[in-house]
Amino acid sequence: MLESIDLKKRLKKEDYEREKKRLADELMCLQQQCVSEKLPVVICVDGWGASGKGTTISKLVKDLDPRSFRVYSMAAPTQQERRYPFMTRYWERVGQHGTITIFDRSWYGEAMKILMHDYPFPNKGKKGKAPHPLLRDTGDFAVTGTGGTIGLYAESAHLFERQLINDGYLIIKCFFHVSKQAQKERIDKLCEDESTSWRVTDSDIRQNKHYDEYYPIIDTLLERTNAADSMWHLIPADNQRVRRIAFMQAIADEMREALERKRLRDENPVKIPENFPLPHSRYTLLEAPDVEELSHSLALDEQTYVEELKQEQDKLSALQMKLYHRGIPMMIVFEGWDAAGKGGAIKRVASALDARDYRVVPSAAPTREEKEHPFLWRYWKNLPKSGHVCIYDRSWYGRVMVERIEGFCTDEDWRRAFEEINDFEWEMYRSGTLVVKFWINVSQDEQLARFNERKNNPEKAWKLTDEDWRNREKYPQYRQAINDMFRLTSTNFAPWHYVESDDKKYARIKVLKTINAAIEKRLKEK
């Protein structure tokens, strides 16, 4: 790819000034259209060291409305950021609909760092020297994750981009390419002045010294992460004028085309037939029961419950300490019927944990700000860091249940969400997070009895809402949605655990035992 760039191209001053003004005016208009049309834009800028990325970004934003863009300089992740999945810090910074988010160094920066610093140089023909892992790999790691560590980074980037694009985001990826000689001249010039010398890093100097070795590595990375809906724009950066115009032109072209595509989609919305089959998953799915097949007769006597509750809580407390010291995060998800006993189960789990190391997150209806982002954005912002536990009282599965049934999202949205959820849980699992998911089940008769108990008890009446009664009336729709959820999101890395909860004592003990067993299994694997 890099060979296709003409680094010798130059622009006359008058041509440069004319094009600069034209593009600046066009970009201002396009930005306002993005705001009015609620089109979110993410621009990632990568490139060689000292290729002029920061300077060019600064000049670009001078022509934009500062109220609707944000620039992030993504340095190496901090110690705190390293305690979360790799893509978390990018998810956290993604702007809402109608804004422009610019990353100076993107999610590909970490992969490039590994390629350039952590691995040996590729084979230069010397006998006995292994080729670079990236160049040795023939798989498409942007899709399959093959290629070791680099494959993992590349696949994370691919999944991130796919989810943003599916939610209507425009992703513009630009790589600033500079020749070895131009890079050296720029580094030398920066180093001559004390006010600019700080901008030159050891990495920049190392890049220039080993430019020829790094060239094929970068070229291969760009080729393997160049997708039709998130393609790389290669920016010739030897000449300042050419660099700036090429950068502005790439952004203007992408924004103009994206606005036109959005207009066409809005005029011709996707209509999915009622019986259209749900998508197949690329993950290994486990056999799942029909929700009506789950037992309603399992129970525990009071004495057994008291004894096992203490035993399992003590065990969980000890196991949590092992998770903490091993730096293993744990995500526990509770879903289930209304009045099934989720709150009681969560309380018994939480009381066994160190209060400093866990958090319970109730997943209510999304706020206005959350609706202006991809639906998983608010969950990416609340992941457990290494050694900590996060407990969700209802979760991202609302997209394929209540939002599906109540029409709070489009058919396209909830159908796509099954695989987006699997991708999300795969990213958690692959980053080292132990994911434990519970469906708390209760029979219709027992649910009605609990509803009436709440209705007639002043101390519990607040728990019963009109929405609970409406959900009960829609049992057939919810049964179908729940069965689809079981069938399409119970994976080998994040399986569903089904908890029979007509007897609350039995359910609470089963939850504790399941969590303890999952932790013990994970500790043996680590």
Domain ranges of the chain: 2-267, 291-525
Residue 436: is its pLDDT beyond 90? yes
With beta carbons less than 8 A apart as the criterion, state whether 358 and 391 touch. Answer: yes
Query: What sign has the CA pseudo-torsion 452, 453, 457, 459?
Result: negative
Mention every residue, 6+ apart, whose C-beta is less than 8 A from residue 394: 334, 335, 342, 362, 363, 364
SS3 81: helix
For the record, the structure tokens of 447 come out as 């649910």
Q: pLDDT-based confidence at 120, cuts 50/70/90?
A: very low
What is the helix (H) or strand (E) element at residue 379, kind and residue range?
helix 377-380
**Which has the minimum average pLDDT: 142-146, 405-409, 459-463?**
142-146
pLDDT at position 110 is 73
pLDDT at position 272 is 86
Q: pLDDT-based confidence at 16, cuts 50/70/90?
A: very high
CATH of domain 291-525: 3.40.50.300
For the record, the structure tokens of 255 come out as 């924004």
Residue 126: is its pLDDT beyond 50? no
**CA 499 to CA 280: how far, in whole Å?**
26
Mention every residue, 6+ apart, whose C-beta is less than 8 A from residue 405: 474, 477, 478, 481
Mean pLDDT of 419-432: 95
CATH of domain 2-267: 3.40.50.300
Q: pLDDT-based confidence at 199, cuts 50/70/90?
A: confident
Degrees to nearest 5, angle at CA 274 with 273 and 275: 95
Q: What is the pTM of this model?
A: 0.90
pLDDT at position 115 is 64
**Which has the minimum average pLDDT: 107-121, 360-374, 376-390, 419-433?**
107-121
pLDDT at position 135 is 43
Same fold, 2-267 and 291-525: yes
For the record, the structure tokens of 153 come out as 């980074």
Mean pLDDT of 296-310: 97
pLDDT at position 146 is 40
Of 524, 516, 82, give the one whose Cα is nearest residue 330.
516
Mean pLDDT of 20-29: 97
**What size, in residues, is the chain?**
526
Residue 127: is its pLDDT beyond 50? no
Residue 409: is its pLDDT beyond 90? yes
Structure confidence by residue, pLDDT tens digits, 494-514: 999 999 999 999 999 999 999
Residue 125: is its pLDDT beyond 50? no
Structure confidence by residue, pLDDT tens digits, 232-276: 999 999 999 999 999 999 999 999 999 999 999 999 887 888 788
Q: Helix count (H) and strand count (E) of the chain?
A: 21, 10
For the record, the structure tokens of 140 come out as 């498409």
Taking phi first (over 0 means left), then psi (-120 to 50 degrees means alpha), and beta for anything else, what does residue 361 get? beta
For the record, the structure tokens of 175 come out as 């790589």
Residue 153: is its pLDDT beyond 80? no
Degrees to nearest 5, angle at CA 410 with 405 and 171: 140
**Which has the minimum average pLDDT: 71-85, 98-112, 147-161, 162-176?**
147-161
Structure confidence by residue, pLDDT tens digits, 361-397: 999 899 999 999 999 999 999 999 999 999 999 999 9
User: What's the gap between Cα 445 and its chain centre?
Assistant: 40
pLDDT at position 344 is 96
With beta carbons less than 8 A apart as the criterion, state whether 41 and 172 touch. Answer: yes
Mean pLDDT of 81-109: 93
Q: pLDDT-based confidence at 149, cuts 50/70/90?
A: low
pLDDT at position 131 is 42
Q: pLDDT-based confidence at 157, cuts 50/70/90?
A: confident
3-state secondary structure 399-444: HHCHHHHHCCCCHHHHHHHHHHHHHHHHHHHHCCCEEEEEEEECCH
pLDDT at position 118 is 52
SS3 331: strand
**CA 256 to CA 394: how far, in whole Å?**
40
Q: DSSP for 199-230, please give it.
A: G--HHHHHHHHTHHHHHHHHHHHHHHT-BTTB
Burial of 31 by CB count in 10 Å (0-12 exposed, 13-18 middle, 19+ buried)? buried
Long-range own/partner contacts, residues 4-11 (CB < 8 A, 24 or more apart) = 4/234, 5/177, 5/234, 5/236, 6/236, 7/177, 7/178, 7/179, 7/182, 7/236, 7/237, 7/238, 7/239, 8/238, 9/236, 9/239, 9/242, 10/239, 10/241, 10/242, 11/239, 11/241, 11/242, 11/245
Residue 36: is its pLDDT beyond 80? yes
